[in-house]
Amino acid sequence: MPTIMKAVTFHKHGGPEKLIYEDVAIPQIGPDEMLVRVKACALNHLDIWIRQGIPSYTISLPHISGCDVSGVIDTVGSAYSGHLVPGQSVFVMPGISCGNCDECLIGKENRCAHFHILGAQRHGGYAEYVAVPAGNVLPLPANLTFEQAAAFPLVSVTAWHMVKTLADVQPGETVLVMGAGSGVGSMAIQMANLLGARVLSTVGAEDKKEKATMLGADAVINHSVENVWERVTALTHGHGVALLTPAGQAVEEPPRIGSS
């Protein structure tokens, strides 16, 4: 096993010119971790904020970004006793928590005092290898490529937190997703649809309507040429929607929003 890998790092905050392609040490894994050989890593907007130096995240420099990762298991920790094995294709759930506190045990890992995000408060996937907790490694579905699997992990966490954890969308409710073409918006449409809701969505161009419909939107509004609230009023017969989800932004409370 080599001890050095290639990675994209930054030693100072700033623009893309701060990124450096260099040799770094391959991370060591703990007993409950896995070393994943990276096959694909998406560019998430959080990666850009971290590189720029967003005040919400305190990181040590140099840093390796990359929140959304897929790859192949290289090594498993000594304490791991699950069904995943070296050589298996996987993707990584980017929200990392302790797994043992009260919040984690009731399914609210984002409230864990130790919660952090891969590629933000710890080194991520802009490298040949990444070390992650074994519980965050999931088998890659056979119908997905590595690139596809790296496209949705973090936006899915955000969308689920909005649609289910906060809003608890129920069958028969009407949900309006603003921005069907975004990562969070596209996932929110699919999740709300699977939960049995009627899904309305907005797009900024006509050529995006077909994709929104394919994802599960029951009606699509082009906000660049249509009045959103007038269309929502007409589509809901004046009742408005049960939930408005602004794409890319997790609501702090689950609002029930009328259209007038």
Digit-coded pLDDT (tens) for 20-42: 999 999 999 999 999 999 999 99
* Beta bridge partners of residue 122, listed in sequence order: 118
DSSP-assigned beta bridge partners for residue 75:
35
DSSP state of 196: T
**If you search the block for the tokens 């649609």, which residue do you land on?**
163
The rounded percent of the chain whose pLDDT value lies above 90 is 78
Q: CA 203, 209, 214 angle in degrees (round to 5)?
A: 120
Domains of the chain, each with CATH number or no CATH: 4-151 (3.90.180.10), 157-246 (3.40.50.720)
What is the C-alpha radius of gyration for the chain, rounded to an integer number of angstroms?
Answer: 20
Closest CA to 40 of 116, 82, 91: 91
- Report residue 160 CA to chain centroid gap: 9
181-240 pLDDT tens trace: 999 999 999 999 999 999 999 999 999 999 999 999 999 999 999 999 899 999 999 888
